[in-house]
Structure 1
């Protein structure tokens, strides 16, 4: 990082499957559109439109971003003097923080310097970050409590969602269960590919037809295995 605090906008055209790693910067992400998934330990959290999430320094995590997702990201360097929160989790996006992020979207095109409008806005964001109280009590704040475990099981590929649960889950996520399942399949395929497996073995391991796998891969990650 060149600056102590940096803002960026991310528009993900294809499925992004991040590796499990510790981040060298603390950062918050705010979902403008679509879905992102963050794995912390054994649990995976679903970020939907309007959701904010905080990841402190040296937090071991894996980030998955589904196609079409747009989000704001603010990174904080260890050079900052503010005592930033050391716990990961969902954060409340206050009206002030949302206004700051909205303004940053408009000023981001200008060069960043110590006296730039963007830097002044980021300093206020840093003040807000000191007050964060992250929570991991829910896996997806957009879902009612009765459906939290249902989504969790779906993300782990352990169960099929009952027909009466499909509509509320799809409404909360903004995508169909079929689309989510396809993304999760290609995510697992990409992990296997990174470990050195060939396409034929990946299809066999995931118990799907090779042609189907390659078609999904071409659509979701822009290439075949």
Structure 2
């Protein structure tokens, strides 16, 4: 049964190729562990552990969880008051506590009981928090911006290496679905041959 406010926990055991789509409800995406990419307009945003991003109802976006990403999703019906624009949401102790409680909830998930009470408090807390135009700036985020510009970092952390390999697969998927020839895509993205691309794809999509 669908309620005005819903909470879901997710885990991507493999790299998942997100498609651009519209959600009929407003939604909060919060990364509990790992990394994800969010394609919003012309921007390709990197979300890491602790990051939260709000998307209003009918916002066209593509959410791509990278391998072993764990995230929480809060869906809020457009019937309820909610932010009308997208943005980064700064975490608060109350927001973190509510999300952690809901993620580990073992009792009955009744809208009329304690579970529903927490959902309503969560929605109220979301409304109180101002949205930010930019996310947290940390070394991996800076390295990601370099990667988007085609710049090679002086040193690649393990996280950046994992991000770069999966980003290359994601770009290949988009280019191929856009009608480009395999040979041209492989050359553009630096794959030695089609076998290397297939091996990389199998590795990151392996359970």
TM interval, shorter chain, is 0.7 to 0.9
Give 1:134 shift.
1.3
Aligned ranges 1:91-170 → 2 under 5 Å: 91-107=89-105, 109-138=106-135, 141-143=136-138, 150-154=143-147, 156=148, 158-163=150-155, 166=156, 170=157
- Cα displacement string for residues 191-225 of structure 1 (whole angstroms, at most 9, x for unaligned residues): 234346675564345341212111110011249xx
- Cα displacement string for residues 130-170 of structure 1 (whole angstroms, at most 9, x for unaligned residues): 112111234xx1516xx85542130x26111123xx4xxx3
Rounded to whole Å, the distance in 2 between the matches of 1:151 and 1:102 is 28
Q: Secondary structure at the match of 1:125?
A: helix
Query: Which ranges in structure 1 are unaligned for 5 or more consecutive residues?
Result: none
Rounded to whole Å, the distance in 2 between the matches of 1:45 and 1:89 is 11
Aligned ranges 1:4-83 → 2 under 5 Å: 4-80=4-80, 83=81
Aligned residue pair count = 206
Indicate conservation of the 8 Å contact 2:143/2:160, yes or no: no
Are residues 205 and 44 of structure 1, via their aligned partners in 2, closer, same or farther at CA, if it must alter by over 3 Å? closer
1:219 aligns with: 203
With the length of structure 2 as denominator, give the TM-score of the two structures. Answer: 0.87
Give 1:17 shift.
2.0
Query: Which ranges in structure 2 are unaligned for 5 or more consecutive residues?
Result: none
Q: Secondary structure at the match of 1:16?
A: coil
1:206 aligns with: 189
Q: Secondary structure at the match of 2:31?
A: strand
- Cα displacement string for residues 70-115 of structure 1 (whole angstroms, at most 9, x for unaligned residues): 11111111232xx2111212111111111111111222x5453331
Q: Secondary structure at the match of 1:130?
A: helix
With the length of structure 1 as denominator, give the TM-score of the two structures. Answer: 0.80
Are 2:163 and 1:180 aligned? yes
